Amino acid sequence: MSRMTYKDGETGDVTEAVLAAQGYILKKDLPPILSTPSVRNEPSHAHDRKANAARYLRQAVTLTGLGTSIFETAIETVRGAHTHLARNYPAGRVTPWKPERFKGQDVLEISNRYLTSRHRQSPSPIVAFQCGVDPKNILT
């Protein structure tokens, strides 16, 4: 897993970069999780369905700027960040980034998985879900 970070010139502290973009919510898939999800492209083994559904479960938001110049600047910033990160990997290892489109305009699709495989887990401590995220204990 890669993270974009920056180093504070005065303190030397390393901080994870946060990209902010203001836009209109076009689509969302956010907590709470109230039912067991189905996942496309999962193995056909019936007994594996629930475990695999949870493995790929993610929260997501799609933002549009409806053609505003400030949102297009945000799109270019994300494109630049992707290019910057891609330089740190061998050619062909990073999937090219191309924003999705809605009514002829670029949109930002932002998502992250709820669960991380143990072999990909960083040394950071495991954080339990807050009760409002998984009130029916579907993920636990």
| Cα first-last separation, the chain | 23
Per-residue pLDDT at 42: 47
Contact 53, 104 (CB under 8 A): no
Closest by alpha carbon to 4, among 85, 111, 96, 120?
A: 85
The answer as to whether 83 is a domain residue is yes
Tell me the per-residue pLDDT of 78-136, one tens digit each, with 9 for 90 and over.
Answer: 999 888 888 888 888 888 889 999 999 999 998 887 776 666 666 666 677 777 877 88
- Rounded-to-integer distance, Cα 36 and Cα 3, Å: 30
Contact 131, 76 (CB under 8 A): no
- Rounded-to-integer distance, Cα 127 and Cα 139, Å: 13
Least confident of 21-35, 43-57, 95-109: 43-57
Per-residue pLDDT at 107: 95
Please check the confidence at residue 71 and state whether its pLDDT lies above 90.
Answer: yes
The answer as to whether 139 is a domain residue is no
Hey, which residues does 109 pair with through a beta bridge? Answer: 62
The answer as to whether 64 is a domain residue is yes
The answer as to whether 7 is a domain residue is no
The answer as to whether 66 is a domain residue is yes
The answer as to whether 135 is a domain residue is no
Residue 64 or residue 121, greater confidence: 64
Q: In a 3-state reduction of DSSP, which class is residue 83? A: helix
pTM: 0.66
Q: Which range of residues forms the domain containing residue 73?
A: 23-120
How many domains does the structure of the chain reveal?
Answer: 1
